[in-house]
Amino acid sequence: MAAGRPPAMSDVAARAGVSHQTVSRVLNAHPSVRPATRERVLAAIEELGYRPNRAARALVTARSTTVGILTVGNAHFGPASTVLAVEAAARAEGYFVSVSSLAAYDAAAAAVALDQLVDQGVDGVVVVAPLEDVAHVVDDVAPTLPVVVVAARPGVPTTSPARYVCVDQRRGAQMATEHLLDLAHTAVVHVAGPGGWFDAVERAGGYREAMEARGLEPVVVEAGDWSARRGYEVGERLAAEVREAGGPTAVVAGNDYLATGLLRAFWEHGVRVPRDVSVVGFDDIEGSAYLVPALTTVRQPFAALGQAAMRTLLQERSGQQPGRPGPPSHPHQRPERGHDDGPRVAAVIEPELVVRGSTAVPR
Amino acid sequence: MAAGRPPAMSDVAARAGVSHQTVSRVLNAHPSVRPATRERVLAAIEELGYRPNRAARALVTARSTTVGILTVGNAHFGPASTVLAVEAAARAEGYFVSVSSLAAYDAAAAAVALDQLVDQGVDGVVVVAPLEDVAHVVDDVAPTLPVVVVAARPGVPTTSPARYVCVDQRRGAQMATEHLLDLAHTAVVHVAGPGGWFDAVERAGGYREAMEARGLEPVVVEAGDWSARRGYEVGERLAAEVREAGGPTAVVAGNDYLATGLLRAFWEHGVRVPRDVSVVGFDDIEGSAYLVPALTTVRQPFAALGQAAMRTLLQERSGQQPGRPGPPSHPHQRPERGHDDGPRVAAVIEPELVVRGSTAVPR
DNA sequence: CACCCAGATGTGAGCGTTAACATCAGTGCA
DNA sequence: TGCACTGATGTTAACGCTCACATCTGGGTG
């Protein structure tokens, strides 16, 4: 073994008195290696501090055991939590995780970020950038590479070859709205997140459905982004309306940051929560239980989401042909696939309503 | 070119009527390629949709152009923001980013996570897990691989071969404390984050220094973790003390979540902020400007931190010998290195005090 | 006791790229 | 006119691993 170079398989082989192939068999848990031989090889590995060269392995197997995660580039609570959950799930499956985050939230930026992941040779991509613009970018890549989109909307992507893992935000919004309606609220408004986001659209949809199911008029105010600042700005306008007779008595906010801003604006304008107006948020971010008042919110199942995404990705991968030539996959092997099946939703996970002090019966 | 296999360099070469090496030269921007030839090669690349195989390149160059990020495994605002900042900086430098997060916050878990990054063949590691336990794990790896630790404490790691990029949390805590003292507070307590964290220790230290500099007695309460819940629990106790004559009139919280819990507890117990007690946080998380009252806090320079970390890593990498044999690096080439120089702090970045409504002159 | 078979191991090739060296044409200058 | 030199290209050999196949051993079977 030459000095200065990390030990290679051949070095281990020489030391153990076997061929490099036997070392490879030990490493890959091949059955036909005698225990004594295995021991010797393992000892040599240990003594030399040998680590397999992943690049060499990836080169010959045409697999990187790396999955890419495409996400939005800021510390949004939801995406950040989801990324961590996916990462944990991936590592549990023996995969490495490469992250690419979006500088801007448009299709072009997403295409660039996705490109980088593909360049890196990932075996699959999990998209945690729940914007419609972004979702369609993956359509080009998905036929070649397994792609799982973490999204909110079971009903949307019809022709996309990617698979979808969803939190049923529509259901979550229904739960939130029905909670308020059950408290006897009738004038409930929704402060929605930005239009291009799956979550925002679905939550607004769920809210609308719940209202209409009881014959009530839905009122949606779009906040523009997910920030507390926007929540505050909208809250200032709402505060005035809340005071009028027939004004809203409850608000479903698109997420907890918006809700935070709403609470602040209401407080500033002397509108008491929940006495004058009830507020519900989404996400259950750290601290929302300790706002004043404690925020009723729809908690997101991030861990389950991450696991479902990884499971789907692996399943997808095993169904896909590897990069090397091989026989075409049998058309009936995976009957759930096919563009005429509509959206290829692999999992739908239910969120959970957490009732706290920001909701009460209307005055 | 065989069907079913993605195009290789030789396919491009054949199509362009050149040798594969010329294709390689075009790809690596080698100067001596005639413009006309380059054009032809680029056209062939375009037509074939060729993408270089990173595994093959990594194999021969013994470089992966991938950096690992080791981080804590939950959605803590600080670490999450830092990871994203490092990721952005890395991509700007043409590096890929592989994330490994810690399941538990102990040295064993860190060693495992770090191992995985090394197995993956990263060219360097950025550690964004600001715990002392974790920091020492990298010492084994750092002699072989460039390691940059994002930490809070310029003065701590003395013999570590890793380099440190720091936010001057001590200074931040001084700023926060002095802000209160300048408002004429004298009884200022500190609710500190968990002991093993660099940030917690440094912030507590800065607080102590600022107090002692004015001849005041520092009082530190350790919260146990960084959560709003713990802030609330400590706040309940503090609320009682605040009411007593000679009780604290101001609190420096270890981060904004703790501050959130404090605010809640104070509110519940009828202690008004800032009238009865002033509160300062750390981080400036989303929403802290819209708490009631708006939180005075020490904002962290995450973007600068990420950039500094990457810059340091690249600098470190260029000073390190590659994996292949090579002449030993000249001992005087990088005079700032060496264990006798004390901690190898590459950058210290200043945080920023953001004054809002939660601080005022004492009653 | 020859024969076959399965288990255990070794041999050789090739994955797609870069590094090192070889080759071949021009150019400038004596 | 010739020769050293530079710029543009081609050729060959690794890199470290896995795959396909060849080889060798030892126990059962007829």
Tens of pLDDT along B263-294? 999 999 999 999 999 999 999 999 999 999 99
Nearest-Å Rg of the Cα atoms of chain B is 26
Of the candidates B278, B294, B255, the residue with the CA atom closest to the CA atom of residue B359: B278
Nucleotide in closest CA–C1' contact with A324? C15
Quickly state the pLDDT bin for B340 (edges 50, 70, 90).
very low
Is residue B158's pLDDT more than 90? no
Set of chain B residues whose Cβ sits within 8 Å of the Cβ of A82: none
Nucleotide in closest CA–C1' contact with A19? C10
The pLDDT value recorded for residue B342 is: 45
Per-residue pLDDT tens over the stretch B289-299: 999 999 999 99
The pLDDT value recorded for residue A157 is: 55
Q: What is the C-alpha separation between A278 and A264, in angstroms, rounded? A: 13
Cα–Cα separations (whole angstroms), residue B329 to B201, B316, B320: 37, 12, 8
Identify which of A55, A118, A264 has the shortest CB distance to residue B55. A55
The pLDDT value recorded for residue B97 is: 94
The percentage of chain B sitting over the pLDDT mark of 70, rounded to a whole number, equals: 90
Q: Say yes or no: B54 contacts chain A, CB-CB below 8 A.
A: yes
Quickly state the pLDDT bin for A50 (edges 50, 70, 90).
very high
What number is the average pLDDT over the span B308-317? 90
Strands across the sheet containing A96-102: A345-349, A163-167, A147-151, A124-128, A66-72, A96-102, B96-102, B66-72, B124-128, B147-151, B163-167, B345-349
Nucleotide in closest CA–C1' contact with B323? D15
Judge: B4–A97 Cβ closer than 8 Å, yes or no: no
What number is the average pLDDT over the span A202-230? 97
Closest residue in B to A232 (Cα) is: B290
Q: Quick one: which residue's CA is nearest to C12's C1'?
A: A21
Closest residue in B to A262 (Cα) is: B290
Is residue A322's pLDDT more than 70? no
Q: What is the C-alpha separation between A70 and A82, in angstroms, rounded? A: 11
Set of chain A residues whose Cβ sits within 8 Å of the Cβ of B326: 4
Q: Say yes or no: B53 contacts chain A, CB-CB below 8 A.
A: yes
The pLDDT value recorded for residue B226 is: 93
- Rounded distance in angstroms from the CA atom of residue A269 to the C1' atom of nucleotide D27: 92
The pLDDT value recorded for residue A99 is: 92
Residue B185 contacts residue B249 (beta carbons within 8 Å): yes
The pLDDT value recorded for residue B103 is: 78
Q: Which positions of chain D lie under 7 Å from any protein Cβ? A: 7-12, 14-20
Is residue B360's pLDDT more than 50? yes
Is residue A354's pLDDT more than 60? yes
Q: Say yes or no: A300 contacts chain B, CB-CB below 8 A.
A: no
Q: Are strands A296-299 and A352-354 parallel, antiparallel or unpaired?
A: antiparallel
Of the candidates B63, B27, B52, B25, the residue with the CA atom closest to the CA atom of residue A121: B52
Closest residue in B to A67 (Cα) is: B98
DSSP3 helix / strand / coil % (chain A, rounded to 5): 45, 15, 40
Of B344 and B119, the one with more pLDDT = B119
Per-residue pLDDT tens over the stretch A96-148: 999 998 878 888 889 989 999 999 999 999 998 888 888 788 888 888 899 99
Is residue B334's pLDDT more than 80? no
Identify which of A80, A91, A290 has the shortest CB distance to residue B261. A290
Q: What is the C-alpha separation between B227 and B205, in angstroms, rounded? A: 20
Q: Say yes or no: A52 contacts chain B, CB-CB below 8 A.
A: yes
Per-residue pLDDT tens over the stretch A230-245: 999 999 999 999 999 9
Q: What is the C-alpha separation between B252 and B255, in angstroms, rounded? A: 9
The pLDDT value recorded for residue B87 is: 92
Is residue A324's pLDDT more than 90? no
| Amino acid at site A305 | L
Q: Which positions of chain C lie under 7 Å from any protein Cβ? A: 7-12, 14-20
Of the candidates B72, B74, B75, B126, the residue with the CA atom closest to the CA atom of residue B96: B126
Q: Say yes or no: B6 contacts chain A, CB-CB below 8 A.
A: yes
Q: What is the pTM of this model?
A: 0.90
Structure tokens at B227: 């959560």
Is residue B156's pLDDT more than 60? no
Q: Coil, strand, or helix at residue B240?
A: helix
| Amino acid at site B219 | V
From the Cβ of A361, is strand D under 7 Å away? no
Nucleotide in closest CA–C1' contact with A59? C15
Of the candidates B60, B93, B92, B82, the residue with the CA atom closest to the CA atom of residue B317: B93
Longest CA–CA separation in chain A, Å: 90
Q: Say yes or no: B66 contacts chain A, CB-CB below 8 A.
A: yes
Of A78 and A52, the one with more pLDDT = A52
Per-residue pLDDT tens over the stretch A18-41: 999 999 999 999 999 999 999 999
Judge: A66–B120 Cβ closer than 8 Å, yes or no: yes
Residue B61 contacts residue B53 (beta carbons within 8 Å): no
The percentage of chain B sitting over the pLDDT mark of 90, rounded to a whole number, equals: 69
From the Cβ of B17, is strand D under 7 Å away? yes
Nearest chain A Cα distance for residue B83, angstroms = 9
Of the candidates B58, B154, B132, the residue with the CA atom closest to the CA atom of residue B98: B58
The percentage of chain A sitting over the pLDDT mark of 90, rounded to a whole number, equals: 69
Is residue A259's pLDDT more than 50? yes
Q: What is the C-alpha separation between B356 and B285, in angstroms, rounded? A: 13
The B residues from 95 to 134 touching A (CB cutoff 8 Å) are: 96-101, 103, 116, 118-121
Longest CA–CA separation in chain B, Å: 90
Per-residue pLDDT tens over the stretch B77-134: 888 889 999 999 999 899 999 999 887 888 888 998 999 999 999 999 999 888 888 8
Set of chain B residues whose Cβ sits within 8 Å of the Cβ of A101: 84, 87-88, 91
Q: What is the C-alpha separation between A144 and A104, in angstroms, rounded? A: 25
The pLDDT value recorded for residue B229 is: 97
Set of chain B residues whose Cβ sits within 8 Å of the Cβ of A289: 228-229
Q: What is the C-alpha separation between B353 and B341, in angstroms, rounded? A: 31
Q: What is the C-alpha separation between B194 and B140, in angstroms, rounded? A: 25
Residue B277 contacts residue B189 (beta carbons within 8 Å): no
From the Cβ of B159, is strand D under 7 Å away? no
- Rounded distance in angstroms from the CA atom of residue B1 to the C1' atom of nucleotide D10: 20
Nearest chain B Cα distance for residue A216, angstroms = 31
Judge: A116–B91 Cβ closer than 8 Å, yes or no: yes
Judge: B56–A59 Cβ closer than 8 Å, yes or no: yes
Set of chain B residues whose Cβ sits within 8 Å of the Cβ of A91: 100-101, 116
Q: Which letter does DSSP use for residue A75 in this model?
A: -
Mutate to test the interface with B, among A96, A272, A285 (most CBs of B within 10 A): A96
